[in-house]
Structure 1
Amino acid sequence: MSVNADIFIVIFGLISLYYLVMYIWSFKKFKTPAPDHDAFGFVLLVPALNEAMVIGDTCAQMKKLRARLHVVVIDDGSDDGTGDMVRAHAGDRIHLFERRSPEARQGKGMALNMAYAWAQTQFKDWFPDLNDDQIIVGVTDADVYLHQNVISEVTAAFQSASDVGAVQAPVSIKGANESLWLLMQDIEFRAFFHFIQKARNWISSVAMGGNGQFTRYRAMKTLGDRPWSRALTEDIDLGMALTGQGQRICFTGQTPVVQHGLTNFRSLLKQRSRWVQGHYQVWKRIGALWRSDSRLITKLDATLYLMMIVIPLILAADYAVGIASIFGWVYTYSDTMSWLGQFGSWVPVTVQLLMAFSIQLIFLPSYGRAAGIKIPWYAAPGLVAAFSIYTAAVWIAASGIAFYRMATGQWEWIKTEREAISTKMSA
């Protein structure tokens, strides 16, 4: 059996080119005015299912933020004392919204919808002098450290233009300097956010994330009474729904929302498989997106973002063909590499290495920019290799789990269990 490997070369070559173009585009400055903290009112929705381990610190920190802010912690049927931890901080700024069985534990999107419905009844009391354009509905996880600068940068982004319907803040992982495992997660988050999302500022196709997403109330109302869906990635679904309504989504690209990482492979696979499965659920938004009044480039990039979830499957197929070739089970050839070989035997080898590690070679400089560090030259090869193994192992395995769950009709919400983290959030 013969296999022409040119199909893999074309696919990975185009992906590498896309990332390179976005990386270059990410250097373009996105200018915003000085923030006016009195111009907007913030409502932060914080889903909390069995988050007693972290929710107290989160509430205490959010009480210190300088903003017109109300925090609604959603106790979604916790049985570990989460509600009691929130009550200790409840007051003018911190509010506890409780859901109990059988309504509770129906997924993050449903919890957000119920809390959002209640919060709307409070808007006139909380912000009597503000209109729908000046009220911002945000979502964060229960374990975040939200720096004052995040609020300032989000405020400035909304002030930059009246057509900005939503803003996404970057995310970083706490303790990335303490272990290689957490560092891999931090590179994954910060590098991607720093160059892909910054480039998308000019395409208006910024992807929404569960942590640090902020939506103008006026834009939220275009999605009806239940803006969040039952999708396992309700955050991405919300962003796609907003884009399908012609809303412009921007990215702050500076101060990150800090969250805890996951310290073991099993927990990470559990979380990532939910993300993979949720991506496929959001494909249903593609039709509405293309019927919308959004710009062509916005439609193209948003669609590409959703479709790129198949990359781990293509990568797995590439590995499978390579292994089969080594054992002589199949014969692989490449017309492209044969043509390049006429310029020297080193040329096709170099091209293959560049395509194999191109994404990592873009991610590391981007991570250095985002984290404000200089990666030593002698550490770069090791990081490239480690990140390559990490991403391939995690996303291929997570894709396999996601397809198994879809094939067996398992669509229920998968809660990532909170882990004990020795470090404290710091400014």
Structure 2
Amino acid sequence: MALLTAGAVVLAVLLALLAHTAINARLLRKPPGTAEATDSAAVLLPLRDEADRVGPCLQSLLRLPPATRVIVLDDGSTDGTAELVERTAGDRVELRSGRDLPPGWLGKPHACHQLAEAEAGSGARTGTGAQFLVFIDADVVLAPDAVERAIAVMRAHDIDLLTPYPRIETGSIGERLVQPLLQWSWLTFLPLRAMERSPRPSLAAAGGQFLVVRRAAYDRAGGHAAVRDRVLEDIELARAVKRAGGRIALADGSELARCRMYTSWRELSEGYSKSLWASFGSPAGAAAVLALLLALYVVAPAAALLGPWSGPAALLGPAAYGLGVAGRVVSARATGGRALPDALAHPVSVLLFAWLVVRSFARRGRTTWKGRPTWRP
């Protein structure tokens, strides 16, 4: 009897989460099919030792409308990144060399800060300062009309900072198991419309792969200088925009951009280890979240293997497993991802995620990324 009661509670929670995922999928902002060209945007690309992966990104920048200014910052690369940019993009981009990293700053915020400064300087000289700053990463490939369509969403809904989440591409088994959890997590647990309406900075999400912010809101929030020592500078910038009175939102950017963040399990585990710990308020908070995820999506489905059960109890494990898989399918279809067969391995995905979180906390303060520290105590 106690087992059935506990199982009923678990299934009720899983069903509620699945319903929330489905509602969020319907509410997720979608860019219009077409949008008017704009001359008020600047695409800003920070690079550090990206010669082996930035080529497709640069090619996509060449296909953007000529009125869209593109500024690239070479942040002390030693692998020929700057030379590759010059060969590939030529006069289409304004290439800047990054300054030395000052005390108290992490590398990514400092690079983005310099890009925003460079855009302001260019705009002041020409009288054509951008109203929208578009920050992208080296592994993002933009559609030719991506900038206009993202800005159309912001104008239509009075949004100050928008993350049009790219379509995440995966290759290795490890990537296919872990990467889809990015979109699944916020579609499942984050109330999207409440996040847009609420002034609470704690209720925020953002992704630095493709992030668009109004210049005025960026300046009011203090820009990247306000998040100079933050590992997750994208989420912290969204919070700063909220604190300054702005609105933030997420959108389905699967038609606007694609991104393969990592190309192997080793690269993925290193990338997550450097920053995953910062997604949680504390080790205790992380432990609570992991306990909930494991109970719902691993232990409950595994109950079917711990039998023998009979009657209604025999259905608890399969039902819990099915609800978890269904949530992943809904998430994938809403964000341009691969639904099946990848979603069938959802319990394994959650287990791997838990291991990555533990690894990230264990290595906090001891990891580097491209020769720089990833944490300022």
1:369 Cα offset (Å): 4.4
Change in CA separation of 1:85 and 1:143 when aligned onto 2, cut-off 3 Å: same
The amino acid of 1:267's aligned partner reads E
Cα distance in 1, alignment partners of residues 72 and 295 from structure 2: 44
1:182 Cα offset (Å): 4.1
1:192 Cα offset (Å): 5.3
1:94 Cα offset (Å): 0.8
TM-score by length of 1: 0.69
SS of 1:139's equivalent?
A: strand
The corresponding residue for 1:392 is 351
Equivalent in 287, 304, 325 of residue 360 of structure 1 = 325
1:158 aligns with 2:117: no
* Contact 1:229–1:237 (Cα < 8 Å) also in 2: no
Matches within 5 A, 1:326-337: none
The corresponding residue for 1:286 is none
* Contact 1:192–1:363 (Cα < 8 Å) also in 2: no
Query: Mean alpha-carbon deviation: is it higher for 91-100 or for 114-123?
Result: 91-100
Equivalent in 179, 189, 212 of residue 214 of structure 1 = 212
The amino acid of 1:139's aligned partner reads F
Equivalent in 402, 407, 412 of residue 360 of structure 2 = 402
Equivalent in 140, 144, 147 of residue 148 of structure 1 = 144
* Contact 1:26–1:198 (Cα < 8 Å) also in 2: no
1:200 aligns with 2:192: yes
Cα distance in 1, alignment partners of residues 296 and 194 from structure 2: 33
Cα distance in 2, alignment partners of residues 213 and 101 from structure 1: 25
The amino acid of 2:116's aligned partner reads Y
1:235 Cα offset (Å): 0.9
1:201 Cα offset (Å): 4.5
Change in CA separation of 1:9 and 1:79 when aligned onto 2, cut-off 3 Å: farther
Cα distance in 1, alignment partners of residues 189 and 207 from structure 2: 11
Cα distance in 1, alignment partners of residues 4 and 219 from structure 2: 49
The corresponding residue for 1:337 is none
Cα distance in 2, alignment partners of residues 270 and 386 from structure 1: 22
Cα distance in 2, alignment partners of residues 69 and 219 from structure 1: 20
Cα distance in 2, alignment partners of residues 146 and 309 from structure 1: 37
Change in CA separation of 1:97 and 1:16 when aligned onto 2, cut-off 3 Å: farther
* Contact 1:43–1:72 (Cα < 8 Å) also in 2: yes
Cα distance in 2, alignment partners of residues 244 and 7 from structure 1: 41
Cα distance in 1, alignment partners of residues 176 and 215 from structure 2: 36
1:258 Cα offset (Å): 1.1
The corresponding residue for 1:94 is 93
1:309 Cα offset (Å): 8.4
1:273 Cα offset (Å): 2.2
SS of 2:35's equivalent?
A: coil
The corresponding residue for 1:293 is none
SS of 2:249's equivalent?
A: strand
Q: Which runs of 5+ in 2 are unaligned?
A: 197-202, 372-377
* Contact 1:206–1:251 (Cα < 8 Å) also in 2: no
1:136 aligns with 2:107: no
The amino acid of 2:332's aligned partner reads Y
The amino acid of 1:113's aligned partner reads H
Cα distance in 1, alignment partners of residues 49 and 346 from structure 2: 32
SS of 1:88's equivalent?
A: helix
Cα distance in 2, alignment partners of residues 309 and 109 from structure 1: 28
1:386 Cα offset (Å): 2.1
1:17 Cα offset (Å): 2.1
* Contact 1:143–1:260 (Cα < 8 Å) also in 2: yes
The corresponding residue for 1:414 is 369
Change in CA separation of 1:74 and 1:97 when aligned onto 2, cut-off 3 Å: same
The corresponding residue for 2:279 is 279
1:80 Cα offset (Å): 0.5
* Contact 1:16–1:358 (Cα < 8 Å) also in 2: yes
Which whole-Å deviations, capped at 9, do the CAs of 1:303-324 have from their partners, x for residues lacking one? Answer: xxxx6785235456899999xx
Cα distance in 1, alignment partners of residues 287 and 136 from structure 2: 24
Cα distance in 1, alignment partners of residues 73 and 11 from structure 2: 42
Matches within 5 A, 1:63-78: 63-66=62-65, 68-78=67-77
* Contact 2:27–2:192 (Cα < 8 Å) also in 1: no
Cα distance in 1, alignment partners of residues 327 and 312 from structure 2: 21
Q: Which runs of 5+ in 1 are unaligned?
A: 284-306, 326-331, 333-343, 417-427
* Contact 2:69–2:93 (Cα < 8 Å) also in 1: yes
Alignment: residue pair count: 353
The amino acid of 1:173's aligned partner reads I
Which whole-Å deviations, capped at 9, do the CAs of 1:72-118 have from their partners, x for residues lacking one? Answer: 22212111111111222455541222225455994211221222223
1:365 Cα offset (Å): 3.1
Cα distance in 1, alignment partners of residues 315 and 111 from structure 2: 51
Change in CA separation of 1:206 and 1:23 when aligned onto 2, cut-off 3 Å: farther
* Contact 1:19–1:196 (Cα < 8 Å) also in 2: yes
SS of 2:180's equivalent?
A: helix
Which whole-Å deviations, capped at 9, do the CAs of 1:196-218 have from their partners, x for residues lacking one? Answer: 59961464166210111110011
* Aligned residues: CA RMSD: 4.0
The corresponding residue for 2:374 is none
The amino acid of 1:211's aligned partner reads Q
Identity, % of aligned positions? 19
The amino acid of 1:70's aligned partner reads R
The corresponding residue for 2:112 is 112
SS of 1:164's equivalent?
A: coil
